[in-house]
Every structure is written in structure tokens, then in C-alpha cells.
């Protein structure tokens, strides 16, 4: 019977070898992923009791770890929490992390491989490892101007503002309202943190913790006409080409018609493309969209970043341009309705792309990653996401957008001595809800330093008074002034 | 080397019987150092002081180990010298970890476990004293089979059996919970060994040859089919996947060893695969286990334990957090089913791999005992006990580390639980008994001169 016993001995050896190999797999190969899992309370507790690096805006920390008087040793403190919460996110020993606290967790907690040498030194010196710090691209004055602007609107305003450096893609301001105070859930008092968490999640119809600037998508309305105009200019049209005007556009394959805001005729039955954009003529752009075709529109929208996930530093939603549409839907999509939906970040990118000679830059919010000893470990490297339009088309479109500000619907963003390019928009989401108001603009038009998108989801203003220029315009202007005036 | 080449059969005879009790004592000192050291480290890691009760605790452990050693020295002097120290080391580590978890969650499992440990060692000693020759057990072949089946079915008796965590494998008597399946495992190992010694020749008869393997005759399939049904019964009525696999695997392996026909492994493997697949289709609890193995992270509420186990192992990493410095208590049942991952967290990959290797050593020493054993029953018994032990370790450690679906088996010698501890110490006693017999010098069969004088018939 000895031969089978020897075989079994090999078999048992194989069983134990499998156990050993699997242990190596879990404890070494998979360990990184498992430790990074945001639901992993062990790692969170360990990280809670570690001195985490700061998140810096300008020279000042907006999130930092300060000594606490309990066994977790450090507690996270957010300064100007409501202003920066959409970007920093929260850090909780119970609920994990979001925002930059999540995406740059490896650096902030000190577990990043770029901090390996620091960790070894700390280990040898028997010191608690420290985290590195993260410098954001946010311009504190632009950020403040954006939130102040939203706060000036009456009532419980919901909205978002994104400002970009058009030549780099750096995010200069990112504000979402309503906002929240991450300190409320960073506290080590478990019952307080739990109550606040419940208040901010399940019990919160306003979705305070949602970053409306990048996480949500909305119909962009007339601001989307910039994309259609870009497609037209790239396909043989010029700013002076005549397009259809008038009061109505009959939609093919249906009995429905498309009309203009307030029943206007856009200034004639035949108008220039510049005029159509200046007065935001739905009939013109609906007709233009039908002539260009759904595929051309889709290609143009995707070159600006629609249907693509290009931003991983904060949680963000993919903006949407529908594929395979019939003609009525194409006409509606051309005025930013139907299934077209964009995040404020996306519309800021469209604007910045036009400002930057047609090159859409990949957006980023992390400027520098620094070691605990303040050595720069990594620096943002601006890159072109897509060349959406040619430089000459960008110039023509810029001129048309300046015209929108000078003579058209975006009067509110005019600045003395500086030429501003802009486009307004309103979009209907549903019959019961009041329309969304949009404003996108950049300045100075001849040497763009800032591109901004302002989005107002809801505010306490009677329905007839809701307009992109009227509500969102002053906010956009405030942000642009804050950047240019620096 | 030359002798080995010319006469390989001489190798077995070249085995020089040695008692090796001194080696056992030396290894025991190492094992105690591990157990008591771990206990001290728990205190150092948590409170930065050595626990005040280290002397009582360490003293207790030393006394128990010395008792074992002395008894083995007297009643089983030729027993394998490695098994006992390996077991003592595991038991000590388990106690330290249970104590560590007690401190975290204000329980007193370690104290109870120490009492169970003392009781187990008493049973161990009793087993060695009562069973002076393992071949006596062969006389109780069918009794053991009957007792085993009765023990297996006890939890199904209304009023006696209780459902704990979905599995009906416990009985409760006067406030004490007991898992009779643990002892049934031993009874069935004895039964299988005894039964197969008798029937091995009939079962070894080849039937038809198919695809290069000798398939058994149809009527010889009876016993394996019966055992298959019993295993399925365990799976269906007690909802205990692990024991089901254990009993069936044990039987198939012994069948293979007894008949030397690999075809039994093929037949057994096919039956097991079929049964497991049927079980998967028919029972939601089996599906749950498989789902929790493949996609635990899809359902955090249901598979929190597996997920925590994974986090625990990852958190431990290569070197571990150190005893008392991790968070193993975040895993449900960290002191029993999931003690493997608790140790993995605090002792790291290094420590847990060492533990697996210690288990492997016990198994291979058991199989070695089977190799050198001179009687068929002893061989089968040693193989059965070793393989059952190996399967149990594989199923439970593989389960908690997500190598295979999780099933409810205890981690031998480490996890909290009286029945498991007692049963496993009896197993060690039986293994030592067989090995004592196997390693003993062969009896001198040369007739003495005195026989010549009184012989009735002249032989030479």
C-alpha cells in the first residue's frame, strides 16, 4: 500500500502548496488593491491615526491633520470647508474618502511609492510615517468669487461654477452649491459623524455632497450652439454665411415645430451665422443641425470631450451626446436639448477649447505633489485632449462670441477695457421644474486667461426672469475679474 | 549508495529504531517558547507591558506539555518525536491569538479554551493509556461505524441539535455546545480503515478498462455510493459543505490506498464533482457560498466576513502588524472560523506560511508513519487520520483565504472550540500510538534454545 501513500503525500503537498501560493497572492500581490479599497476600515483606522499630508490652495492648507486627543492621534481639519468641499472631498474614519482625499490618498497617507524612501527612513527612525502634500490649481480668489456669486442669488440656489486656464486645462475654480462641511463627518465622535452622514446622504433631497460641477450632467441648452457653430464653421460655413431665420422650423417626420425664445423671428427669415448665435436663434441652429447631420454633430461634440471620461482626479460623469438619432431629435440636440447633457466642467472645456485656438486641454486640479520634506515629487504636465477645431475656426468663433457679448444676449459679462467672448443658455429639463440657466465665457478674447462655465440648476426667481445672462452672467464676470485682476 | 541501488528493499530494513524522546523534548521547549512568547507579545503589543498572568499561563502550558511528554515517554517511547511539539506550538499560538481577541472585545474565550486544552490533554493521555495497541481498535470496526453515524445524526434530533449560523452541526446538552461531527470524523476513520482491510481484495478486482483506467465492477461500487449518499445527506440536512467534503474525501482516499487503484480517485472525484454541482443547483446556501467566493465584493452585506478576511490578510502584508497591533477583531468570528486570517494579519505572510508549513509537517509525519507501519490496519488508520487532517486544514484555510468557497470547519488546534480541540488531540494520540508501533524494533522471532529442549516435534 506504500505507493498510494507516497502519491497521497505528494497530493497533500500540493494542497499545502496551493494554500501557500494563495497566501502570497492575497497578502502580497492583491494587498495593494485591498488596502486601497475605500471600505477597508483597517487601513482607514491606521490612516486616521497617521499624520496625513495637507491639501494646499495657494500657499494655505484647506485640509490638514491636527493632533486629536483620542487614540486615533490625528483628526482632519478643513478650513473654509464649504468653499472647497467639492474639490477636497471628505475624509472620514467611518465613511472613507472622496474627492482629492480619495484620488490622492496614496500621497496624502504616505503610502505612495514615490514616498518609499521617506517611509524607509521613518521606519528605521521608528517614527510614524508622514504623508506628502498636494497643491491644487485652484485660484482662491476665483473660487471665492464663484461661491459669492452663487450666494448672491436669492433663495436656496443650486448650481455650479467651473473656471479653467484655457491654455493649460488647470481648474482655477470649481464650486458647487449647496455645499457641505466635511468637518462634520471627519469628527472622531462616531455618533455625531453618523448623524451628520445620515443628514447629508439619505435625508438630503438637495444632494449637498454631490459635486454638481463634474458629477452631474444637465441639458446645456443654447450654450451647446457653440459646438454646432464650430461644426458648421469646420464644414464650409463662414460667420457671414446666411442661415435660416424666422419664427418656426418644421421638424421632419413629425408634426412638431421648433420655435424661438419669446416667439421672435431672430431678425429675419435669412440671417448670418453670427447673428444667429448672437440672438441664440433656435430655428437657425435646428436647421443647421439638420443640414450638418447627426454624425457631424456627434463627431464635433466628441472632439470637445463628450462621450468620454477624461478626468479622474475627482469623480466625474461622462457628458453625453446621443448616438443614432432621427431627424427631429437631431434638430433638438442642436439646441442642447433632447438627450444632450453636459457637466459644467464639460461646457467650460468647450469654451476653453475655443479660447485656446481649438485645442481642448485635459482638465486637472492637482498642480504639485510634494513629499513631507516639501520636495516636489510630481508636477502637472498639461496635455492636449483633442484638437477640436482648427485655429482659424477658433478665431472666427471667438469673434462671433465677442459679438454675442457686444450686441447679443450676454450683455452682463461686459468688462471695461477687456473684450469678452461668451454665450448664454437656458435649458428645459421638465415641465414642472424651472429652466436651467447657463453662461459660458472667456476673457480677454484676444489673449484668453480664463474660461468659465456657470450653471444655475434652480434659484428663487420667477420663471419669466430666468435667463442665462441675467442669472449666471454676473457670476461669470466676477470669476473672470478675479482671475484677470490678479 | 551502492546498497540502495542494488537492494532497494533494504531501505525499509535499514530503518534504525530510535526513541528520539530527547529530540521531542528539545522541540517541545521551542514550541513552548513560541506559545508563551506569543502570549507575552500580545501584552507588549497592546499595553506595552508583559501580561501579569504570564507566569500562571506559561506555567500551565508548560505543565500540560510536560505531562504529554512524560506520558508519551512511558507508554509510547518510539512515537514520532515531531508531531507533539508541532501540535503544542499551534495550540499555544491559537491560545495567544484568542487571548488577544478577548482583550479587544472583552470576552473570556481564552480562559475557556485553556480549560478545554487541559481537558483535551487528559483525553489524549487517556487514549494513549487505554489504546495500548491500535490493532485492538480493528475489533470495533462496525461499532465505530455505528457510533460515527449516530454522532453525525445527533444534531438532527429535535430538541438536542441546534442551528448555529445556518449549519445544523451542533448539539446542546446542559448549557454545553458540542460538535459531534468532530469526533465522528475519528470514528469513521477507524471504521473505514477496519472495513477496507477486510474488503480490499474484493474491491481491488478490476472490472472493465476504459480510457486507460481500470474501472471497478458495478457491484463493488456499492460502498462508495453509500458513502456518497451519506455525504450528500450531511450537505442537505446539516447544510455543512465542509464536513460533507471531508467524509467523502476521507473514504475515497482510503479506498484508493487499500486497493492501490487510482480509478477509485477518478470515480470518487467524478461523484464529488457531480454531487457538488447538483448541490449547487439545488440549494441556495451552496450557491451563496460559491457566489461569496467568486464575487464577495459585489455584496458587502452578505459577504462582509470574507471581505474582512481579505482586508485582514492584506493589512498584515509580508511581515504582519505584530501581535496586538492589528485589527483582527473587525472580522466576524475572528477567534474561531477566521483565526487563520487573524494570525495572517498580526503575524503576516511569514507567520501564516510558517503555520501552514507546521500543519504540513504534521500531515507528512502522519503519512510517514503510515509508510513504515507494518500492519494494513495501522497504515490505513494513519493515512485516514493524516488525510482527514490535511483536508480539514485545506478546506478551512483555503476557505478563509478565498482560495475555495468558505465552509464551516474549525482550524485544528488554533481556533476556539472544545469539541474540535478534544477530537484533534485524540487524533494525535492515535497517530502517536500507530507511530510508536511502527517505529518500534521488530520483535525477535528467532526461537530460543529453551524451545528446543521442550519441543514435541523436532524441527531441525
Identify which of A1, A32, A46 has the shortest CB distance to residue B376. A1
> Which residues on chain A are in Cβ contact (under 8 Å) with B300?
39
> Which residues on chain A are in Cβ contact (under 8 Å) with B256?
4, 8
Asked whether A16 and A73 are in contact (CB, 8 A), the reply is no
Give residue B3's pLDDT: 43
Between CA A70 and CA B225 the distance in angstroms is 62
pLDDT tens digits, B135-155: 999 999 889 988 988 888 888
Whether chain B has a CB inside 8 Å of the CB on A127: the answer is no
Whether chain B has a CB inside 8 Å of the CB on A295: the answer is no
- Kindly give, in sequence order, each residue whose CB lies less than 8 Å from that of residue A38, ignoring residues fewer than 6 positions away: A96, A97, A102
CA distances (Å), origin A35, targets A39, A162, A223, B295? 9, 33, 43, 18
Give residue A115's pLDDT: 80
Largest CA-CA distance found in chain B, in angstroms, rounded: 85
DSSP classification of residue B178: E
Say whether B360 and A27 touch across the interface (CB within 8 A): no
Say whether B260 and A15 touch across the interface (CB within 8 A): no
Between CA B179 and CA A100 the distance in angstroms is 51
> Which residues on chain B are in Cβ contact (under 8 Å) with A120?
none
Give residue B6's pLDDT: 45
> Which residues on chain A are in Cβ contact (under 8 Å) with B397?
19
Chain A: closest CA distance from residue B454 (Å): 40
Whether chain B has a CB inside 8 Å of the CB on A40: the answer is yes
Chain A: closest CA distance from residue B80 (Å): 17
- Listed by start position, the domains of chain A span 2-35, 221-366+381-484
Please give the average per-residue pLDDT across A300-315, as a whole number: 92
| pLDDT tens per residue across all 460 residues of chain B | 444 444 444 455 556 778 899 999 999 999 999 999 999 999 888 877 888 889 988 999 999 999 999 999 999 999 999 999 999 999 999 999 999 999 888 888 988 999 999 999 999 999 999 999 999 999 998 899 889 888 888 888 887 777 776 677 788 776 677 888 889 999 999 999 998 888 888 777 766 666 666 666 666 667 767 777 877 787 677 777 788 888 889 989 998 999 888 888 888 889 889 888 888 898 888 888 888 899 988 888 788 889 999 999 999 989 888 898 888 988 888 888 899 999 999 999 999 999 999 999 999 999 999 999 989 999 999 999 999 999 999 999 999 999 999 887 889 999 998 899 999 999 999 999 999 999 988 877 766 666 666 667 766 5
pLDDT tens digits, B42-100: 988 887 788 888 998 899 999 999 999 999 999 999 999 999 999 999 999 999 999 99
The ipTM value here is: 0.90
Q: Span A221-366+381-484: which CATH code?
A: 3.40.710.10
Residue A430 annotated in active site? no
> Could you give the angle at the alpha carbon of B109 between the alpha carbons of B103 and B111, nearest 5°?
95
CA closest to B300 among chain A residues: A39
> Strand pairing partners for A96?
A92
> Which residues on chain A are in Cβ contact (under 8 Å) with B253?
8
Does the structure show a pLDDT above 50 at A124? Answer: yes
CA closest to B255 among chain A residues: A4
Whether chain B has a CB inside 8 Å of the CB on A29: the answer is no
pLDDT tens digits, A222-260: 899 999 999 999 998 999 888 888 888 888 888 778 888
Best B307, B315, B366 residue to mutate vs chain A (most A CBs within 10 Å): B315
Does the structure show a pLDDT above 90 at A462? Answer: no
Give residue B173's pLDDT: 74
- End-to-end CA distance of chain B: give it in Å, rounded: 38
Q: By three-state DSSP, how is residue A332 classified?
A: helix
> Which residues on chain B are in Cβ contact (under 8 Å) with A45?
327
Beta strands at A366-370 and A376-379: parallel, antiparallel or unpaired = antiparallel
Does the structure show a pLDDT above 50 at A393? Answer: yes
Between CA B373 and CA B385 the distance in angstroms is 14
Give residue B14's pLDDT: 56
The four Cα atoms A342, A347, A353, A358 give a dihedral, to 10 degrees, of 60
**Nearest by Cα to A105 from A314, A291, A275, A307:** A314
Whether chain B has a CB inside 8 Å of the CB on A463: the answer is no
Chain A: closest CA distance from residue B159 (Å): 39
- Kindly give, in sequence order, each residue whose CB lies less than 8 Å from that of residue B443, ignoring residues fewer than 6 positions away: none
Chain A: closest CA distance from residue B117 (Å): 26
Helix axes B141-153, B180-204, angle to 10 degrees: 140
Identify which of B260, B326, B359 has the shortest CB distance to residue A16. B359
Say whether A27 and B257 touch across the interface (CB within 8 A): no
Chain B: closest CA distance from residue A109 (Å): 15
**Nearest by Cα to B369 from B65, B183, B134, B201:** B134
Give residue A466's pLDDT: 79
Q: Is the pTM for the entire model greater than 0.80?
A: no
Whether chain B has a CB inside 8 Å of the CB on A376: the answer is no
> Which residues on chain B are in Cβ contact (under 8 Å) with A15?
390-391, 394
Identify which of A1, A6, A35 has the shortest CB distance to residue B258. A1
Give residue B187's pLDDT: 93
Chain A: closest CA distance from residue B317 (Å): 5
Q: Which of A299-313, A445-459, B262-276 has the lowest mean pLDDT?
A: B262-276
Whether chain B has a CB inside 8 Å of the CB on A12: the answer is yes
Per-residue confidence band for A403, with pLDDT thresholds at 50, 70 and 90: confident
Give residue B420's pLDDT: 92
> Strand pairing partners for B323?
none
Chain A: closest CA distance from residue B179 (Å): 25
Which residue in A102, A111, A222, A441 is the catalytic one? A222
Say whether B313 and A28 touch across the interface (CB within 8 A): no
Say whether A12 and B390 touch across the interface (CB within 8 A): yes
Please give the average per-residue pLDDT across A393-403, as a whole number: 92
How many contacts (CB atoms, under 8 Å) link A and B? 129
Say whether A1 and B317 touch across the interface (CB within 8 A): no
Identify which of A8, A18, A26 has the shortest CB distance to residue B383. A8
pLDDT tens digits, A52-100: 889 999 889 999 888 887 767 788 899 999 999 999 999 988 888 899 9
Between CA B151 and CA B147 the distance in angstroms is 6
Say whether B387 and A12 touch across the interface (CB within 8 A): yes
**Nearest by Cα to A208 from A174, A186, A180:** A180
> Which residues on chain A are in Cβ contact (under 8 Å) with B353?
20, 23-24
Amino acid at each position: 500500500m506504500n505507493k498510494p501513500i507516497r502519491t497521497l503525500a505528494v497530493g497533500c503537498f500540493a494542497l499545502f502548496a496551493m494554500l501557500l501560493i494563495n497566501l502570497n497572492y492575497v497578502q502580497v500581490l492583491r494587498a495593494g488593491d485591498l488596502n486601497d479599497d475605500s471600505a477597508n476600515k483597517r487601513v482607514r483606522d491606521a490612516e486616521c491615526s497617521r499624520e496625513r499630508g495637507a491639501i494646499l490652495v495657494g500657499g494655505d492648507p484647506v485640509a490638514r491633520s491636527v493632533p486629536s486627543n483620542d487614540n486615533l492621534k490625528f483628526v482632519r481639519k478643513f478650513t473654509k470647508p464649504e468653499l472647497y468641499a467639492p474639490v477636497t472631498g471628505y475624509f472620514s474614519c467611518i465613511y472613507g474618502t472622496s474627492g482629492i482625499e480619495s484620488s490622492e490618498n496614496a500621497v496624502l497617507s504616505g503610502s505612495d511609492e514615490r514616498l518609499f524612501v521617506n517611509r524607509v527612513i521613518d521606519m528605521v527612525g521608528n517614527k510614524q510615517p508622514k504623508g506628502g502634500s498636494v497643491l491644487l490649481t485652484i485660484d482662491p480668489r476665483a473660487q471665492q468669487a464663484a461661491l459669492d456669486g452663487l450666494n448672491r442669488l436669492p433663495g436656496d440656489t443650486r448650481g455650479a461654477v467651473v473656471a479653467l486656464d484655457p491654455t493649460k486645462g488647470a481648474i482655477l475654480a470649481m464650486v458647487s452649491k449647496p455645499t457641505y462641511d466635511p468637518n462634520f463627518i471627519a469628527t472622531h465622535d462616531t455618533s455625531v459623524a453618523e448623524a451628520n452622514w445620515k443628514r447629508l446622504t439619505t435625508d438630503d433631497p438637495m444632494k449637498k455632497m454631490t459635486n454638481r460641477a463634474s458629477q452631474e450632467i444637465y441639458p446645456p441648452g443654447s450654450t451647446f450652439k457653440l459646438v454646432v457653430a464650430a461644426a458648421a464653421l469646420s464644414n464650409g460655413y463662414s460667420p457671414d454665411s446666411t442661415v435660416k431665420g424666422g419664427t418656426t422650423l418644421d421638424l421632419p417626420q413629425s408634426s412638431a415645430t421648433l420655435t424661438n425664445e419669446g416667439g421672435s423671428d431672430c431678425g429675419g427669415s435669412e440671417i448670418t451665422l453670427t447673428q444667429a448665435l448672437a440672438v441664440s436663434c433656435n430655428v437657425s441652429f435646428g436647421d443647421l443641425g439638420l443640414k450638418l447631420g447627426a454624425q457631424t454633430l456627434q463627431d464635433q461634440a466628441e472632439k470637445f470631450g463628450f462621450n468620454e471620461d477624461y478626468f479622474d482626479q475627482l469623480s466625474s460623469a461622462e457628458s453625453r451626446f446621443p448616438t443614432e438619432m432621427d431627424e427631429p431629435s437631431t434638430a433638438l440636440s442642436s439646441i442642447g436639448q433632447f438627450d444632450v447633457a453636459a457637466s459644467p466642467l464639460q461646457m467650460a472645456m468647450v469654451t476653453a477649447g475655443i479660447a485656446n485656438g481649438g485645442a481642448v486641454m485635459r482638465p486637472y486640479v492637482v498642480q504639485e505633489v510634494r513629499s513631507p520634506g516639501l520636495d516636489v515629487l510630481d508636477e502637472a504636465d498639461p496635455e492636449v485632449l483633442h484638437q477640436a477645431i482648427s485655429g482659424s475656426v477658433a478665431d472666427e468663433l471667438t469673434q462671433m462670441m465677442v459679438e454675442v457679448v457686444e450686441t447679443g444676449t450676454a450683455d452682463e459679462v461686459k468688462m471695461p477695457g477687456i473684450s469678452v467672448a461668451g454665450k448664454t443658455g437656458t435649458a428645459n429639463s421638465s415641465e414642472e421644474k424651472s429652466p436651467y440657466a447657463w453662461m459660458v465665457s472667456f476673457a480677454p478674447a484676444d489673449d484668453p486667461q480664463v474660461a468659465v462655465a456657470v450653471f444655475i440648476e434652480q434659484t428663487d426667481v420667477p420663471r419669466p426672469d430666468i435667463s442665462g445672462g441675467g442669472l449666471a452672467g454676473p457670476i461669470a464676470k466676477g470669476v473672470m475679474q478675479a482671475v484677470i485682476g490678479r | 549508495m551502492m546498497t540502495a541501488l542494488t537492494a532497494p528493499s533494504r531501505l525499509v530494513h535499514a530503518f534504525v529504531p530510535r526513541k528520539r524522546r530527547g529530540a521531542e523534548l528539545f522541540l517541545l521547549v521551542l514550541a513552548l517558547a513560541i506559545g508563551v512568547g506569543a502570549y507575552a507579545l500580545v501584552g507588549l503589543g497592546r499595553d506595552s507591558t508583559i501580561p501579569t498572568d504570564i507566569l500562571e499561563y506559561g506555567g500551565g502550558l508548560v505543565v500540560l506539555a510536560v505531562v504529554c511528554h512524560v506520558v508519551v515517554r512511558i507508554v509510547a517511547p518510539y512515537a514520532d518525536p515531531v508531531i507533539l511539539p508541532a501540535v503544542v506550538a499551534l495550540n499555544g499560538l491559537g491560545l495567544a491569538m484568542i487571548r488577544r481577541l478577548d482583550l479587544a472585545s472583552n470576552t473570556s474565550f481564552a480562559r475557556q479554551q485553556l480549560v478545554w486544552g487541559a481537558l483535551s490533554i487528559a483525553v489524549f493521555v487517556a487514549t494513549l493509556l487505554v489504546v495500548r495497541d491500535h490493532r485492538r481498535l480493528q475489533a470495533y470496526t462496525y461499532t465505530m461505524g455505528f457510533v460515527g453515524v449516530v454522532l453525525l445524526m445527533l444534531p438532527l434530533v429535535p430538541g438536542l441539535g441546534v442551528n448555529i449560523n445556518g449549519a445544523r452541526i451542533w448539539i446542546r446538552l446542559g448549557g454545553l455546545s458540542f460538535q459531534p461531527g468532530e469526533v465522528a470524523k475519528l470514528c469513521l476513520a477507524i471504521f473505514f480503515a477496519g472495513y477496507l482491510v477486510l474488503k480490499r481484495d474484493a474491491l481491488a478486482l478490476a472490472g472493465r478498462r476504459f480510457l486507460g483506467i481500470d474501472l471497478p465492477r458495478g457491484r463493488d461500487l456499492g460502498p462508495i455510493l453509500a458513502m456518497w449518499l451519506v455525504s450528500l445527506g450531511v450537505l442537505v440536512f446539516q447544510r455543512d459543505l465542509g464536513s460533507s467534503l471531508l467524509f467523502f474525501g476521507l473514504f475515497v482516499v482510503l479506498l484508493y490506498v487499500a486497493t492501490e487503484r487510482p480509478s477509485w480517485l477518478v470515480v470518487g472525484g467524478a461523484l464529488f464533482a457531480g454531487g457538488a454541482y447538483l448541490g449547487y443547483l439545488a440549494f441556495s446556501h451552496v450557491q451563496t457560498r460559491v457566489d461569496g467566493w467568486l464575487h464577495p465584493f459585489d455584496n458587502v452585506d452578505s459577504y462582509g466576513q470574507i471581505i474582512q478576511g481579505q482586508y485582514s490578510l492584506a493589512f498584515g502584508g509580508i511581515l504582519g502588524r505584530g501581535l496586538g497591533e492589528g485589527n483582527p477583531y473587525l472580522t466576524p468570528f475572528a477567534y474561531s472560523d477566521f483565526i487563520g486570517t487573524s494570525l495572517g494579519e498580526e503575524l503576516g505572510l511569514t507567520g501564516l506560511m510558517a503555520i501552514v508549513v507546521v500543519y504540513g509537517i504534521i500531515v507528512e509525519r502522519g503519512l510517514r508513519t503510515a509508510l513504515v507501519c507494518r500492519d494494513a490496519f495501522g497504515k490505513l488508520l494513519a493515512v485516514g487520520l493524516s488525510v482527514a487532517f490535511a483536508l480539514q486544514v485545506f478546506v478551512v484555510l483555503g476557505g478563509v483565504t478565498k482560495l475555495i468557497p468558505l465552509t464551516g470547519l474549525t482550524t485544528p488546534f488554533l481556533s476556539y472550540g472544545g469539541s474540535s480541540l478534544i477530537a484533534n488531540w485524540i487524533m494525535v494520540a492515535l497517530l502517536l500510538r500507530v507511530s510508536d508501533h511502527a517505529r518500534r524494533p521488530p520483535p525477535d522471532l528467532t526461537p530460543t534454545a529453551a524451545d528446543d529442549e521442550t519441543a514435541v516435534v523436532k524441527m531441525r
